[in-house]
Amino acid sequence: MKNNLFYTLALLFFLTIANALVSNFSFATKITAVALLMLLAAAKFLLVAFRFMELHKAHGFWKAAMIVLVALIVSGVLIAI
Protein backbone atom coordinates (compact mmCIF):
# COMPACT_ATOMS: atom_id res chain seq x y z
CA MET A 1 0.00 0.00 0.00
CA LYS A 2 2.85 2.35 0.88
CA ASN A 3 4.31 1.71 -2.58
CA ASN A 4 0.97 2.55 -4.20
CA LEU A 5 0.86 5.84 -2.32
CA PHE A 6 4.44 6.61 -3.25
CA TYR A 7 3.81 5.91 -6.95
CA THR A 8 0.76 8.17 -6.78
CA LEU A 9 2.90 10.93 -5.25
CA ALA A 10 5.55 10.46 -7.97
CA LEU A 11 2.87 10.72 -10.68
CA LEU A 12 1.43 13.84 -9.02
CA PHE A 13 4.92 15.41 -8.97
CA PHE A 14 5.37 14.57 -12.65
CA LEU A 15 2.00 16.11 -13.55
CA THR A 16 2.77 19.26 -11.51
CA ILE A 17 6.10 19.76 -13.27
CA ALA A 18 4.35 19.08 -16.61
CA ASN A 19 1.77 21.73 -15.64
CA ALA A 20 4.50 24.30 -15.01
CA LEU A 21 6.35 23.39 -18.25
CA VAL A 22 3.20 23.49 -20.41
CA SER A 23 2.48 27.01 -19.17
CA ASN A 24 5.82 28.14 -20.71
CA PHE A 25 5.14 26.65 -24.15
CA SER A 26 3.72 28.75 -26.97
CA PHE A 27 0.53 27.28 -28.37
CA ALA A 28 -1.27 28.28 -31.56
CA THR A 29 -4.39 29.16 -29.59
CA LYS A 30 -4.91 30.10 -25.96
CA ILE A 31 -7.73 27.59 -25.61
CA THR A 32 -5.30 24.72 -26.37
CA ALA A 33 -3.00 25.79 -23.55
CA VAL A 34 -5.91 26.28 -21.13
CA ALA A 35 -7.40 22.90 -22.07
CA LEU A 36 -4.07 21.13 -21.51
CA LEU A 37 -3.44 22.87 -18.18
CA MET A 38 -6.95 22.16 -16.91
CA LEU A 39 -6.82 18.51 -18.02
CA LEU A 40 -3.54 18.07 -16.11
CA ALA A 41 -5.14 19.74 -13.07
CA ALA A 42 -8.20 17.48 -13.37
CA ALA A 43 -5.96 14.39 -13.54
CA LYS A 44 -4.17 15.47 -10.34
CA PHE A 45 -7.51 16.26 -8.67
CA LEU A 46 -8.86 12.78 -9.42
CA LEU A 47 -5.60 11.08 -8.38
CA VAL A 48 -5.73 12.77 -4.97
CA ALA A 49 -9.45 11.98 -4.59
CA PHE A 50 -9.22 8.34 -5.66
CA ARG A 51 -5.85 7.34 -4.17
CA PHE A 52 -5.14 9.60 -1.17
CA MET A 53 -8.80 10.03 -0.13
CA GLU A 54 -9.55 6.39 -0.99
CA LEU A 55 -12.55 7.29 -3.10
CA HIS A 56 -11.96 4.08 -5.07
CA LYS A 57 -13.40 2.21 -2.06
CA ALA A 58 -16.56 4.33 -1.89
CA HIS A 59 -20.04 3.88 -3.35
CA GLY A 60 -20.34 4.64 -7.06
CA PHE A 61 -22.34 7.80 -6.37
CA TRP A 62 -19.37 9.54 -4.69
CA LYS A 63 -16.99 8.50 -7.45
CA ALA A 64 -19.38 9.70 -10.16
CA ALA A 65 -20.06 12.95 -8.28
CA MET A 66 -16.37 13.87 -8.15
CA ILE A 67 -15.74 12.94 -11.79
CA VAL A 68 -18.80 14.89 -12.98
CA LEU A 69 -17.90 17.92 -10.83
CA VAL A 70 -14.33 18.17 -12.08
CA ALA A 71 -15.54 17.66 -15.68
CA LEU A 72 -18.08 20.48 -15.19
CA ILE A 73 -15.42 22.81 -13.77
CA VAL A 74 -13.02 22.14 -16.68
CA SER A 75 -15.83 22.51 -19.26
CA GLY A 76 -17.11 25.68 -17.58
CA VAL A 77 -13.64 27.24 -17.59
CA LEU A 78 -13.07 26.30 -21.27
CA ILE A 79 -16.43 27.78 -22.30
CA ALA A 80 -16.00 30.96 -20.24
CA ILE A 81 -12.39 31.83 -21.05
Partner 1 sequence: MSSSSVNYKNFFYPPGGILLWIIILVEVITFGFALVALAYNNHLEPEIFASSRGMLNTHLATLNTLLLLVSGYFMADAVHGFRANNLKKAKTGFSMAMVGGLLFVGIKSVEYYGKISMDIGLTTNTFFTYYWLLTGFHLVHVLIGLVILLVLRSDLKKKPEALKLEDVEAGAAFWHLCDLIWLVLFPMLYLI
What residue ranges bind partner 1 (CB under 8 A)? 1-2, 5-6, 8-9, 12-13, 16-17, 19-20, 22-23, 33-34, 37-38, 40-42, 44-45, 48-49, 51-55, 57-59, 61-62, 65-66, 69-70, 72-73, 76-78, 80-81
Shortest Å distance, C-beta 69 to partner 1: 5
Q: Which of 15, 9, 7, 59 is nearest to 39 (CA)?
A: 15
Q: How far is the CB of 56 from partner 1 (least distance, A)?
A: 9
**How many residues make up the chain in this entry?**
81
**What whole-number distance in Å separates Cα of residue 71 and Cα of residue 39?**
9
